Structure 1
Protein backbone atom coordinates (compact mmCIF):
# COMPACT_ATOMS: atom_id res chain seq x y z
CA UNK A 1 0.00 0.00 0.00
CA UNK A 2 1.34 3.44 -0.96
CA UNK A 3 0.40 6.07 1.59
CA UNK A 4 -1.35 8.99 -0.04
CA UNK A 5 -2.54 10.74 3.11
CA UNK A 6 0.08 12.16 5.45
CA UNK A 7 -0.41 13.04 9.11
CA UNK A 8 0.73 16.60 8.37
CA UNK A 9 -2.02 17.14 5.77
CA UNK A 10 -4.83 19.44 6.87
CA UNK A 11 -8.27 17.95 7.40
CA UNK A 12 -9.63 20.16 4.64
CA UNK A 13 -6.97 18.94 2.18
CA UNK A 14 -7.71 15.32 3.01
CA UNK A 15 -11.45 15.61 2.42
CA UNK A 16 -10.88 17.61 -0.77
CA UNK A 17 -8.57 14.87 -2.12
CA UNK A 18 -10.62 11.99 -0.74
CA UNK A 19 -14.29 12.89 -0.07
CA UNK A 20 -15.05 9.56 1.65
CA UNK A 21 -12.60 10.56 4.40
CA UNK A 22 -15.50 12.60 5.78
CA UNK A 23 -17.21 9.36 6.81
CA UNK A 24 -14.16 8.29 8.81
CA UNK A 25 -13.87 11.73 10.37
CA UNK A 26 -17.56 11.67 11.29
CA UNK A 27 -17.08 8.27 12.96
CA UNK A 28 -14.34 9.67 15.21
CA UNK A 29 -16.11 13.04 15.67
CA UNK A 30 -13.28 14.94 14.01
CA UNK A 31 -14.30 18.43 12.89
CA UNK A 32 -13.09 18.72 9.29
CA UNK A 33 -15.30 21.69 8.38
CA UNK A 34 -14.68 24.47 10.90
CA UNK A 35 -11.44 22.73 11.85
CA UNK A 36 -10.39 22.20 8.24
CA UNK A 37 -7.16 24.17 8.67
CA UNK A 38 -5.91 21.82 11.43
CA UNK A 39 -3.52 19.07 10.41
CA UNK A 40 -4.53 15.44 10.92
CA UNK A 41 -1.95 14.64 13.56
CA UNK A 42 -2.82 17.55 15.85
CA UNK A 43 -6.57 16.90 15.48
CA UNK A 44 -6.14 13.24 16.46
CA UNK A 45 -3.81 14.00 19.37
CA UNK A 46 -6.27 16.59 20.69
CA UNK A 47 -8.93 13.86 20.89
CA UNK A 48 -6.51 11.28 22.31
CA UNK A 49 -6.95 9.11 19.20
CA UNK A 50 -4.45 6.68 17.70
CA UNK A 51 -2.62 8.64 14.99
CA UNK A 52 -0.96 5.66 13.31
CA UNK A 53 -4.11 3.54 13.41
CA UNK A 54 -6.43 6.15 11.91
CA UNK A 55 -3.83 7.21 9.33
CA UNK A 56 -3.63 3.54 8.27
CA UNK A 57 -7.44 3.33 8.09
CA UNK A 58 -7.59 6.45 5.92
CA UNK A 59 -4.91 5.23 3.52
CA UNK A 60 -6.48 1.77 3.21
CA UNK A 61 -9.84 3.36 2.41
CA UNK A 62 -8.18 5.72 -0.05
CA UNK A 63 -6.50 2.81 -1.84
CA UNK A 64 -9.86 1.05 -2.23
CA UNK A 65 -11.37 4.32 -3.46
CA UNK A 66 -8.70 4.74 -6.15
CA UNK A 67 -8.84 1.10 -7.26
CA UNK A 68 -12.62 1.22 -7.65
CA UNK A 69 -12.24 4.19 -10.02
CA UNK A 70 -14.94 6.16 -8.22
CA UNK A 71 -15.76 9.32 -10.05
CA UNK A 72 -16.45 12.47 -8.09
CA UNK A 73 -16.39 16.16 -8.71
CA UNK A 74 -13.12 17.75 -7.64
CA UNK A 75 -14.54 21.12 -6.66
CA UNK A 76 -11.06 22.63 -6.49
CA UNK A 77 -11.04 22.46 -10.30
CA UNK A 78 -14.42 24.13 -10.68
CA UNK A 79 -15.08 27.86 -10.93
CA UNK A 80 -16.30 29.73 -7.83
CA UNK A 81 -19.59 30.40 -9.61
CA UNK A 82 -20.20 26.67 -10.21
CA UNK A 83 -19.41 25.94 -6.57
CA UNK A 84 -21.78 28.66 -5.39
CA UNK A 85 -24.58 27.36 -7.62
CA UNK A 86 -24.05 23.86 -6.21
CA UNK A 87 -24.04 25.12 -2.62
CA UNK A 88 -27.27 27.06 -3.08
CA UNK A 89 -29.12 24.34 -5.01
CA UNK A 90 -27.96 21.48 -2.79
CA UNK A 91 -26.96 22.54 0.72
CA UNK A 92 -28.94 25.75 1.14
CA UNK A 93 -32.07 24.12 -0.28
CA UNK A 94 -31.69 21.14 2.06
CA UNK A 95 -31.14 23.30 5.15
CA UNK A 96 -34.09 25.56 4.34
CA UNK A 97 -36.32 22.50 3.97
CA UNK A 98 -35.15 20.65 7.07
CA UNK A 99 -35.08 23.47 9.63
CA UNK A 100 -38.88 24.03 9.72
CA UNK A 101 -39.53 20.27 9.51
CA UNK A 102 -37.36 19.57 12.54
CA UNK A 103 -38.79 22.58 14.38
CA UNK A 104 -42.33 21.25 13.95
CA UNK A 105 -41.39 17.79 15.20
CA UNK A 106 -39.45 19.34 18.10
CA UNK A 107 -42.63 20.99 19.34
CA UNK A 108 -44.46 17.66 19.15
CA UNK A 109 -41.94 15.77 21.28
CA UNK A 110 -41.62 18.71 23.68
CA UNK A 111 -45.34 18.41 24.39
CA UNK A 112 -45.53 14.60 24.38
CA UNK A 113 -42.44 13.87 26.51
CA UNK A 114 -42.15 16.99 28.64
CA UNK A 115 -43.12 15.31 31.90
CA UNK A 116 -40.45 12.60 31.62
CA UNK A 117 -37.61 14.45 29.86
CA UNK A 118 -38.17 18.07 30.82
CA UNK A 119 -34.53 19.13 31.32
CA UNK A 120 -33.27 17.41 28.16
CA UNK A 121 -36.04 18.72 25.93
CA UNK A 122 -35.90 22.30 27.17
CA UNK A 123 -32.14 22.44 26.56
CA UNK A 124 -32.48 20.77 23.15
CA UNK A 125 -35.33 23.08 22.13
CA UNK A 126 -33.28 26.14 23.07
CA UNK A 127 -30.10 24.96 21.33
CA UNK A 128 -31.94 23.99 18.15
CA UNK A 129 -33.79 27.31 18.19
CA UNK A 130 -30.49 29.17 18.36
CA UNK A 131 -29.08 27.00 15.56
CA UNK A 132 -32.15 27.61 13.40
CA UNK A 133 -31.92 31.39 13.80
CA UNK A 134 -28.17 31.34 13.17
CA UNK A 135 -28.50 29.28 9.98
CA UNK A 136 -31.50 31.11 8.55
CA UNK A 137 -29.75 34.46 8.88
CA UNK A 138 -26.47 32.98 7.64
CA UNK A 139 -27.95 31.54 4.43
CA UNK A 140 -29.60 34.82 3.51
CA UNK A 141 -26.39 36.79 4.13
CA UNK A 142 -24.47 34.40 1.89
CA UNK A 143 -27.04 34.54 -0.90
CA UNK A 144 -27.66 38.29 -0.74
CA UNK A 145 -24.16 39.60 0.06
CA UNK A 146 -21.23 37.17 0.01
CA UNK A 147 -22.00 35.14 -3.11
CA UNK A 148 -22.84 38.19 -5.26
CA UNK A 149 -19.60 39.79 -4.07
CA UNK A 150 -17.62 36.69 -5.07
CA UNK A 151 -19.33 36.69 -8.47
CA UNK A 152 -18.51 40.38 -8.89
CA UNK A 153 -14.87 39.75 -8.03
CA UNK A 154 -14.72 36.85 -10.50
CA UNK A 155 -15.67 39.35 -13.18
CA UNK A 156 -13.82 42.53 -12.24
CA UNK A 157 -10.78 41.27 -10.23
CA UNK A 158 -10.90 44.57 -8.37
CA UNK A 159 -8.80 45.01 -5.23
CA UNK A 160 -11.68 46.93 -3.66
CA UNK A 161 -14.06 44.06 -4.32
CA UNK A 162 -11.54 41.53 -3.04
CA UNK A 163 -11.16 43.50 0.19
CA UNK A 164 -14.93 43.39 0.69
CA UNK A 165 -15.00 39.66 -0.08
CA UNK A 166 -12.15 38.95 2.34
CA UNK A 167 -13.85 40.90 5.11
CA UNK A 168 -17.12 39.04 4.61
CA UNK A 169 -15.34 35.68 4.43
CA UNK A 170 -13.91 36.29 7.92
CA UNK A 171 -17.40 37.04 9.22
CA UNK A 172 -18.77 33.96 7.46
CA UNK A 173 -16.12 31.66 8.91
CA UNK A 174 -16.87 33.04 12.37
CA UNK A 175 -20.55 32.19 11.86
CA UNK A 176 -19.55 28.70 10.71
CA UNK A 177 -17.66 28.28 13.99
CA UNK A 178 -20.71 29.42 15.97
CA UNK A 179 -22.98 26.93 14.19
CA UNK A 180 -20.39 24.20 14.70
CA UNK A 181 -20.23 24.93 18.43
CA UNK A 182 -24.03 24.67 18.71
CA UNK A 183 -23.99 21.33 16.90
CA UNK A 184 -21.31 20.03 19.25
CA UNK A 185 -23.46 21.04 22.23
CA UNK A 186 -26.47 19.29 20.71
CA UNK A 187 -24.49 16.13 20.02
CA UNK A 188 -23.16 16.07 23.58
CA UNK A 189 -26.59 16.77 25.08
CA UNK A 190 -28.22 13.97 23.08
CA UNK A 191 -25.44 11.45 23.78
CA UNK A 192 -24.50 11.27 20.10
CA UNK A 193 -28.16 11.37 19.05
CA UNK A 194 -29.13 8.30 21.08
CA UNK A 195 -32.79 8.76 22.00
CA UNK A 196 -33.94 7.62 25.48
CA UNK A 197 -35.36 4.09 25.42
CA UNK A 198 -38.82 5.14 26.63
CA UNK A 199 -39.42 7.59 23.78
CA UNK A 200 -41.50 7.33 20.62
CA UNK A 201 -40.70 7.08 16.92
CA UNK A 202 -41.07 10.86 16.48
CA UNK A 203 -38.46 11.46 19.18
CA UNK A 204 -36.00 9.17 17.40
CA UNK A 205 -36.87 10.81 14.08
CA UNK A 206 -35.98 14.26 15.46
CA UNK A 207 -32.57 12.97 16.55
CA UNK A 208 -32.00 11.31 13.17
CA UNK A 209 -32.95 14.46 11.26
CA UNK A 210 -30.70 16.70 13.34
CA UNK A 211 -27.82 14.28 12.82
CA UNK A 212 -28.47 14.27 9.06
CA UNK A 213 -28.55 18.07 9.11
CA UNK A 214 -25.22 18.06 10.96
CA UNK A 215 -23.59 15.83 8.33
CA UNK A 216 -24.87 17.99 5.48
CA UNK A 217 -23.66 21.15 7.23
CA UNK A 218 -20.21 19.61 7.69
CA UNK A 219 -20.00 19.01 3.93
CA UNK A 220 -21.46 22.45 3.21
CA UNK A 221 -19.03 24.30 5.51
CA UNK A 222 -16.04 22.29 4.28
CA UNK A 223 -16.89 23.20 0.69
CA UNK A 224 -16.96 26.88 1.58
CA UNK A 225 -14.08 27.14 4.07
CA UNK A 226 -11.59 24.77 2.45
CA UNK A 227 -12.48 25.06 -1.24
CA UNK A 228 -14.52 28.11 -2.29
CA UNK A 229 -12.78 30.66 -0.08
CA UNK A 230 -9.34 29.29 -0.97
CA UNK A 231 -10.13 29.51 -4.68
CA UNK A 232 -11.30 33.09 -4.36
CA UNK A 233 -8.13 34.06 -2.47
CA UNK A 234 -5.92 32.48 -5.16
CA UNK A 235 -7.79 33.97 -8.13
CA UNK A 236 -5.95 37.29 -8.14
Structure 2
Protein backbone atom coordinates (compact mmCIF):
# COMPACT_ATOMS: atom_id res chain seq x y z
CA UNK A 1 0.00 0.00 0.00
CA UNK A 2 2.80 2.44 0.91
CA UNK A 3 4.58 1.82 -2.38
CA UNK A 4 1.40 2.47 -4.37
CA UNK A 5 0.67 5.58 -2.30
CA UNK A 6 4.14 6.98 -2.96
CA UNK A 7 3.83 6.24 -6.68
CA UNK A 8 0.50 8.05 -6.76
CA UNK A 9 1.91 11.01 -4.84
CA UNK A 10 4.95 11.36 -7.07
CA UNK A 11 2.99 10.82 -10.28
CA UNK A 12 0.29 13.31 -9.29
CA UNK A 13 2.38 16.06 -7.73
CA UNK A 14 5.47 16.01 -9.95
CA UNK A 15 6.57 15.35 -13.51
CA UNK A 16 8.84 12.52 -12.34
CA UNK A 17 7.92 9.33 -14.19
CA UNK A 18 7.01 6.45 -11.93
CA UNK A 19 5.32 3.09 -12.52
CA UNK A 20 1.54 3.09 -12.34
CA UNK A 21 0.26 2.13 -8.87
CA UNK A 22 -1.00 -1.43 -8.76
CA UNK A 23 -4.12 -0.31 -6.88
CA UNK A 24 -5.76 3.10 -6.46
CA UNK A 25 -8.41 3.08 -3.75
CA UNK A 26 -9.23 5.38 -0.86
CA UNK A 27 -6.50 3.91 1.36
CA UNK A 28 -3.89 4.45 -1.34
CA UNK A 29 -5.25 7.92 -2.12
CA UNK A 30 -5.13 8.89 1.55
CA UNK A 31 -1.58 7.59 1.81
CA UNK A 32 -0.61 9.62 -1.25
CA UNK A 33 -1.89 12.80 0.39
CA UNK A 34 0.07 12.03 3.56
CA UNK A 35 3.22 11.33 1.53
CA UNK A 36 2.85 14.49 -0.56
CA UNK A 37 5.68 16.33 1.25
CA UNK A 38 8.05 13.41 0.66
CA UNK A 39 7.09 13.20 -3.02
CA UNK A 40 8.11 16.82 -3.68
CA UNK A 41 11.49 16.73 -1.96
CA UNK A 42 13.17 16.74 -5.42
CA UNK A 43 11.24 19.91 -6.33
CA UNK A 44 12.25 21.51 -3.04
CA UNK A 45 15.87 20.59 -3.76
CA UNK A 46 15.69 22.16 -7.23
CA UNK A 47 14.24 25.37 -5.79
CA UNK A 48 16.95 25.48 -3.13
CA UNK A 49 19.73 24.92 -5.68
CA UNK A 50 18.41 27.69 -7.91
CA UNK A 51 18.36 30.10 -4.97
CA UNK A 52 21.90 29.04 -4.04
CA UNK A 53 23.19 29.50 -7.59
CA UNK A 54 21.45 32.86 -7.85
CA UNK A 55 23.22 34.03 -4.72
CA UNK A 56 26.49 32.60 -5.99
CA UNK A 57 26.43 34.55 -9.26
CA UNK A 58 24.88 37.67 -7.79
CA UNK A 59 21.40 37.57 -9.33
CA UNK A 60 18.86 40.02 -7.90
CA UNK A 61 16.91 38.33 -5.13
CA UNK A 62 13.57 38.74 -6.92
CA UNK A 63 14.97 37.14 -10.09
CA UNK A 64 16.29 34.15 -8.15
CA UNK A 65 12.94 33.81 -6.39
CA UNK A 66 11.00 33.92 -9.66
CA UNK A 67 13.27 31.32 -11.26
CA UNK A 68 12.97 28.99 -8.26
CA UNK A 69 9.17 29.26 -8.18
CA UNK A 70 9.02 28.83 -11.95
CA UNK A 71 11.05 25.64 -11.73
CA UNK A 72 8.68 24.26 -9.09
CA UNK A 73 5.68 25.14 -11.25
CA UNK A 74 7.30 23.43 -14.23
CA UNK A 75 8.12 20.38 -12.13
CA UNK A 76 4.51 20.07 -11.04
CA UNK A 77 2.96 20.79 -14.46
CA UNK A 78 1.50 24.01 -13.10
CA UNK A 79 -1.16 21.79 -11.54
CA UNK A 80 -1.65 23.79 -8.36
CA UNK A 81 -1.50 27.16 -10.08
CA UNK A 82 -4.26 26.03 -12.43
CA UNK A 83 -6.26 24.86 -9.42
CA UNK A 84 -5.82 28.21 -7.70
CA UNK A 85 -7.07 30.12 -10.74
CA UNK A 86 -10.05 27.80 -11.25
CA UNK A 87 -10.98 27.97 -7.56
CA UNK A 88 -10.88 31.77 -7.59
CA UNK A 89 -13.05 31.84 -10.71
CA UNK A 90 -15.56 29.50 -9.10
CA UNK A 91 -15.75 31.41 -5.84
CA UNK A 92 -16.11 34.69 -7.69
CA UNK A 93 -18.58 33.50 -10.30
CA UNK A 94 -21.84 32.96 -8.45
CA UNK A 95 -23.38 32.16 -5.09
CA UNK A 96 -25.08 29.23 -6.82
CA UNK A 97 -23.07 26.10 -5.98
CA UNK A 98 -23.79 24.27 -9.23
CA UNK A 99 -22.86 27.34 -11.29
CA UNK A 100 -19.61 27.82 -9.37
CA UNK A 101 -18.61 24.18 -9.88
CA UNK A 102 -19.41 24.40 -13.57
CA UNK A 103 -17.17 27.45 -13.94
CA UNK A 104 -14.36 25.59 -12.19
CA UNK A 105 -14.74 22.62 -14.52
CA UNK A 106 -13.93 24.71 -17.60
CA UNK A 107 -10.38 24.78 -18.93
CA UNK A 108 -10.13 28.56 -19.30
CA UNK A 109 -9.38 31.20 -16.66
CA UNK A 110 -11.43 34.32 -16.16
CA UNK A 111 -10.32 37.73 -14.84
CA UNK A 112 -10.82 36.72 -11.19
CA UNK A 113 -8.66 33.64 -11.61
CA UNK A 114 -5.93 35.47 -13.51
CA UNK A 115 -5.83 38.34 -11.01
CA UNK A 116 -5.66 35.91 -8.08
CA UNK A 117 -2.91 33.92 -9.77
CA UNK A 118 -0.80 37.02 -10.44
CA UNK A 119 -1.27 38.39 -6.92
CA UNK A 120 -0.39 35.10 -5.21
CA UNK A 121 2.70 34.62 -7.40
CA UNK A 122 3.80 38.18 -6.66
CA UNK A 123 3.43 37.51 -2.94
CA UNK A 124 5.36 34.25 -3.22
CA UNK A 125 8.20 35.77 -5.27
CA UNK A 126 8.40 38.91 -3.16
CA UNK A 127 8.41 36.94 0.09
CA UNK A 128 11.07 34.53 -1.16
CA UNK A 129 13.15 37.48 -2.31
CA UNK A 130 12.86 38.88 1.20
CA UNK A 131 14.04 35.57 2.66
CA UNK A 132 16.99 35.55 0.26
CA UNK A 133 17.93 39.08 1.30
CA UNK A 134 17.62 38.04 4.95
CA UNK A 135 20.12 35.24 4.37
CA UNK A 136 17.92 32.14 4.61
CA UNK A 137 16.38 31.91 1.17
CA UNK A 138 17.63 28.38 0.51
CA UNK A 139 15.91 26.96 3.59
CA UNK A 140 12.80 29.10 3.05
CA UNK A 141 12.35 27.82 -0.50
CA UNK A 142 12.63 24.20 0.56
CA UNK A 143 10.34 24.60 3.58
CA UNK A 144 7.64 26.38 1.57
CA UNK A 145 7.55 23.79 -1.22
CA UNK A 146 7.33 20.87 1.20
CA UNK A 147 4.96 22.49 3.70
CA UNK A 148 2.71 23.58 0.84
CA UNK A 149 2.14 19.94 -0.06
CA UNK A 150 1.78 19.02 3.58
CA UNK A 151 -1.58 20.79 3.71
CA UNK A 152 -3.00 18.17 1.34
CA UNK A 153 -3.41 15.81 4.29
CA UNK A 154 -5.29 18.55 6.16
CA UNK A 155 -7.58 19.21 3.19
CA UNK A 156 -8.33 15.49 2.84
CA UNK A 157 -8.80 14.76 6.55
CA UNK A 158 -11.80 12.78 7.76
CA UNK A 159 -14.89 14.96 7.85
CA UNK A 160 -13.96 17.09 4.83
CA UNK A 161 -16.50 16.27 2.08
CA UNK A 162 -16.12 16.18 -1.67
CA UNK A 163 -17.90 18.85 -3.70
CA UNK A 164 -18.55 16.38 -6.53
CA UNK A 165 -19.32 12.68 -6.67
CA UNK A 166 -16.47 12.15 -9.15
CA UNK A 167 -12.96 13.37 -9.83
CA UNK A 168 -9.80 13.64 -7.73
CA UNK A 169 -11.63 15.39 -4.92
CA UNK A 170 -14.08 12.51 -4.55
CA UNK A 171 -11.21 10.02 -4.44
CA UNK A 172 -9.20 11.75 -1.72
CA UNK A 173 -11.78 13.70 0.31
CA UNK A 174 -12.00 12.38 3.87
CA UNK A 175 -9.39 9.72 3.15
CA UNK A 176 -6.79 10.83 5.72
CA UNK A 177 -7.24 10.05 9.43
CA UNK A 178 -7.13 13.22 11.52
CA UNK A 179 -4.23 11.85 13.57
CA UNK A 180 -2.18 11.31 10.40
CA UNK A 181 -2.79 14.89 9.26
CA UNK A 182 -1.71 16.08 12.72
CA UNK A 183 1.48 14.00 12.53
CA UNK A 184 2.33 15.49 9.12
CA UNK A 185 1.94 18.99 10.55
CA UNK A 186 4.09 18.19 13.59
CA UNK A 187 6.86 16.61 11.51
CA UNK A 188 6.94 19.53 9.07
CA UNK A 189 6.94 22.11 11.85
CA UNK A 190 9.77 20.30 13.61
CA UNK A 191 11.82 20.00 10.43
CA UNK A 192 11.29 23.67 9.57
CA UNK A 193 12.43 24.65 13.06
CA UNK A 194 15.73 22.86 12.37
CA UNK A 195 16.58 24.58 9.08
CA UNK A 196 15.23 28.06 9.82
CA UNK A 197 15.45 30.01 13.09
CA UNK A 198 13.29 27.75 15.23
CA UNK A 199 10.55 30.27 15.90
CA UNK A 200 10.43 31.30 12.24
CA UNK A 201 10.23 27.70 11.08
CA UNK A 202 7.28 27.03 13.35
CA UNK A 203 5.50 30.20 12.25
CA UNK A 204 6.17 29.45 8.57
CA UNK A 205 4.46 26.07 8.69
CA UNK A 206 1.68 27.35 10.94
CA UNK A 207 0.95 30.34 8.69
CA UNK A 208 0.95 28.11 5.61
CA UNK A 209 -1.56 25.80 7.26
CA UNK A 210 -3.66 28.75 8.45
CA UNK A 211 -3.87 30.20 4.94
CA UNK A 212 -4.87 26.83 3.49
CA UNK A 213 -7.42 26.30 6.27
CA UNK A 214 -9.07 29.63 5.51
CA UNK A 215 -9.45 28.80 1.82
CA UNK A 216 -10.58 25.27 2.63
CA UNK A 217 -13.28 26.52 5.01
CA UNK A 218 -14.54 28.97 2.40
CA UNK A 219 -14.69 26.29 -0.28
CA UNK A 220 -16.52 23.82 1.95
CA UNK A 221 -19.04 26.54 2.80
CA UNK A 222 -19.55 27.75 -0.79
CA UNK A 223 -18.96 24.62 -2.85
CA UNK A 224 -19.95 21.92 -0.41
CA UNK A 225 -16.51 20.37 -0.21
CA UNK A 226 -13.19 19.97 -1.98
CA UNK A 227 -12.26 19.34 -5.58
CA UNK A 228 -8.89 18.78 -7.20
CA UNK A 229 -8.79 22.51 -7.99
CA UNK A 230 -9.45 23.41 -4.36
CA UNK A 231 -6.56 21.19 -3.28
CA UNK A 232 -4.28 22.97 -5.74
CA UNK A 233 -5.42 26.37 -4.52
CA UNK A 234 -4.76 25.40 -0.92
CA UNK A 235 -1.23 24.31 -1.84
CA UNK A 236 -0.43 27.66 -3.45
CA UNK A 237 -1.79 29.84 -0.65
CA UNK A 238 0.07 27.65 1.86
CA UNK A 239 3.32 28.24 -0.03
CA UNK A 240 2.62 31.97 0.02
CA UNK A 241 1.93 31.91 3.76
CA UNK A 242 5.06 29.91 4.56
CA UNK A 243 7.22 32.25 2.46
CA UNK A 244 5.72 35.36 4.05
CA UNK A 245 6.67 34.09 7.49
CA UNK A 246 10.19 33.38 6.23
CA UNK A 247 10.71 36.75 4.55
CA UNK A 248 12.23 38.67 7.47
TM bucket (normalised to shorter chain) is 0.3 to 0.5
Greater RCO, CA 8 A, separation 6+: 1
TM-score w.r.t. structure 1 length?
A: 0.34
TM-score w.r.t. structure 2 length?
A: 0.33
